[in-house]
Amino acid sequence: MQQAPETEQHHPQAPSGDNGEVPVFQLTDPELVRDQYGFFARLREKAPVWWAELPDGSRWLVPTRYEDIRKAHLDPVLRQKPDPEDDPVSDEEGGIWRIYNEHPVVSDPPKHTRLRKLLSAAFTARQTERLRPRVEEAVAELLDGLARAGADGEPVDLMESFAWQLPLVLICELLGVPEDRRGVFHEWSRNSRDFTGGSTHEGREEIAYRIIDVIKELVEERRVTPTDDLLGQMVLVRDADEGRLSEMELLSTAFIVLLAGFETSVGLIGNGVYALLRDPAQRALVENDPSLLPGAVEEFLRFDPSLFLTNVRISGAPTTVAGVDIRKGQPVLLSLGAANRDPERFPDPDVLDITRSATGHLAFGYGIHHCMGAPLARMEGAIAIGRLLERFPKLRLADTEELPFIPSPISRTLLKLPVLLV
């Protein structure tokens, strides 16, 4: 076996030593931001696993092949946190970001198992279907607004007016945030659009504090007057059996529902529409046979997921990833985008084909941390894209140039999507 560099056990990102035969690339390489898929395709052709070197000199192991990335998701040794006891970050260490440290997405068993079980009832297929009428209504309202904005033949930004708006409306509905208190949630959305492109950490943190204040207010209101929305259900779980869900876990989980719940759907809608508008043959298939939409959504998720590099894991004990021996404390970075474009798993991976079976893509992760909100995101995407094409059959791109994405090696979100409706 090839050996991973030595890593100091107390610091999972400590500078690494000799990298043996495993090649190295720079995580800050401009080409990675400019062309994520091409960059990883070139890496994959040369070696199945690489070290990603960070500016501080530390190295994260990065597999490039679908099967290695899938297996890494299932490896119980690769944890979300470096501490096997999964202790929360202290207030002094974490500040507001302690809120981001207590939800199931960044937790390991047994804590993850407990939290996911408590929340899973809110994300079943049955519960998702209950939201279908509201999704249809919200889509119709936003399309009415689009029609008014584009009636004079001027371009309309589909990201600003549709892709960013719909998921946020639905997440607020799911949590039970009344319209008169959604302003700060919209601020978070606007900040997210350029966060990786230059907005300040301080500004984002200030908005996060205000979101938590609103959530705290809503929690207290639900203790007086119970509701059947997700936040109301979480309050019932918290208060019915104290210890099953702590107050911090409640706040943290509500916060991550906002983050994860709308950003994935934004990318699905924006990237899916963009892909169709650049491929008239695939668009015609969907328009002529709407029953293809569910399969098309899976292909959109495979072809261009909203998260490209994600799921940093920390080895809680020695293990092996893609043939490389990993020591305890070594970070491993899993690329959903690279997995979904591996030709060994998906033939002609750089070709959009809504008739292919895209089952098995990793856009929502894999294993115990598979996204609980995936059914809702799929439904949102199918309704949003389907109704958009129905309402505006002459929909076309207003700009023939390649459109820019948020400049980040992590995400795949369009900065804008200017279209003409008539």
Could you report the per-residue pLDDT of 266-310, keeping only the tens digit for each? 999 999 999 999 999 999 999 999 999 999 999 999 999 998 987
As a whole number of Å, the CA-based R_g of the chain is 22
Record the tokens describing residue 345, joined without a space: 């798993």
pLDDT for res 93:
46
Phi then psi dihedrals of residue 33, to 5 deg: -75, -40
pLDDT for res 116:
83
pLDDT of 242 over the 80 cut: no
* Residue 332 to residue 24: CA distance in whole angstroms: 14
Domain residues for 270? 2-420
CATH number for 354:
1.10.630.10
**Strand ranges (DSSP E) for 1-155?**
2-3, 24-26, 49-53, 59-63, 78-79
pTM: 0.88
Most confident of 7-11, 168-172, 236-240, 348-352: 348-352
In the structure, what pLDDT confidence band is assigned to residue 144 with cuts at 50, 70 and 90? very high
Asked whether 380 and 170 are in contact (CB, 8 A), the reply is yes
Can you say whether the dihedral through the CA atoms of 274, 369, 293, 258 is positive or negative?
A: negative
What is the arithmetic mean of pLDDT over 310-317?
Answer: 85
Of 337, 361, 321, nearest in space to 75 by CA: 321
Q: Tell me the one-letter amino acid at 226.
A: P
Helix (H) or strand (E) holding 312, with range, is strand 309-315
Alpha helices in 14-110 (DSSP H): 30-34, 36-46, 66-74, 91-94
In the structure, what pLDDT confidence band is assigned to residue 45 with cuts at 50, 70 and 90? very high
Angle 239-240-245 from CA coordinates, rounded to 5°: 60
pLDDT for res 8:
35
Residues with active-site annotation: 260, 263, 265, 371, 380
pLDDT of 78 over the 80 cut: yes
pLDDT of 394 over the 90 cut: yes
Q: For the chain, how many structural domains are there in total?
A: 1
Asked whether 1 and 325 are in contact (CB, 8 A), the reply is yes
